[in-house]
Structure 1
């Protein structure tokens, strides 16, 4: 599958006219991710191809309110944040064990929670390995883009 600049512009225009918040498209030699409702300072379209990555601006969207403020963070901790507005779930289904617990060791790529957006269940994978020292969100709670979900002590 090939995607030229005109098709990319048309796709961005269609996205701007719809209520789709996130779109991922993969071809044989590229991966395209479009996201809306990012803070105003960070509009982005990321396209990775066999050649160097190409970035283009996204149509402006209504800025979302700032995520709820969390208490001061220790400098030695890394936050796992919500990449979208969604509902946070700690386990894959009601009655099943949580993906992670306080004190658990996690690895890069390990699923730490599910974020439900528009009836789609999105597994959130950790980008850091270490020990979970704080879980900041209650199960079934709505979360905002960029909101801290967990804090991890790398290692």
Structure 2
């Protein structure tokens, strides 16, 4: 596993919202921990197991990526207080479209009503429509299409006014 693969794994874990991921192969063992919402970030550790050829060591580059993501969270929290957050009711994979050849359910700036389908979350090969419980205007979509989501993870910001 080279440094670029490790960096892309760190980015994927950060986007997924998972708090900890462990990956172990014959020659390398990686534990990635993301910071909490309070801004306290824990370092990411890369442990290399002995092997015939020297492995690429990247502990210096890993904490930089974790520190770069942490300062942005407190600034956006203050701005987002006036909005209603729609959260994921289940664990699964988030999809913005009902199928690849169809248009997305909602866009930023679109007005929604109670009961409108906002997205689909696939869990155990079942596709679950996620309906809005509020009326308002979509301000921000917080999750990328085809990304894994956790229970209670914020998906959308809605301006109720």
Q: TM class by shorter-chain length? A: 0.5 to 0.7
Picking from 84, 89, 95, the partner of 1:83 is 89
Taking structure 1 as the reference length, what is the TM-score of the superposition? 0.54
Aligned length: 91
> How do 1:38-117 and structure 2 match up within 5 A?
69=37, 71-72=76-77, 74-117=80-123
Question: Residue 8 of structure 1 corresponds to which residue in structure 2?
Answer: none
Cα offset, 1:75, TM superposition: 2.1
Local SS of the residue matching 1:75: helix
1:86 and 1:127 map into 2 onto residues whose CA distance is 20
Higher helix fraction (1 or 2) = 2
Cα offset, 1:105, TM superposition: 0.3
Structure 1 runs not aligned, ≥5 long: 1-65
2:90 and 2:81 map into 1 onto residues whose CA distance is 24
Deviations 1:34-72 (A, max 9, x none): xxxxxxxxxxxxxxxxxxxxxxxxxxxxxxxx9x74641
Which is higher, the Rg of structure 1 or of structure 2?
2
Question: Residue 70 of structure 2 corresponds to which residue in structure 1?
Answer: none
1:76 and 1:108 map into 2 onto residues whose CA distance is 19
Question: Residue 160 of structure 2 corresponds to which residue in structure 1?
Answer: 154
Deviations 1:70-103 (A, max 9, x none): 6415221001100011100001000210000000
Matched, 1:141 2:140: no
Structure 2 runs not aligned, ≥5 long: 1-33, 38-72
2:101 and 2:93 map into 1 onto residues whose CA distance is 17
Runs of 4+ in 1 over 2 A off after TM superposition: 68-71
Cα offset, 1:119, TM superposition: 0.2
- Alignment RMSD, CA only? 2.2
Question: Residue 131 of structure 1 corresponds to which residue in structure 2?
Answer: 137
Question: Residue 19 of structure 2 corresponds to which residue in structure 1?
Answer: none
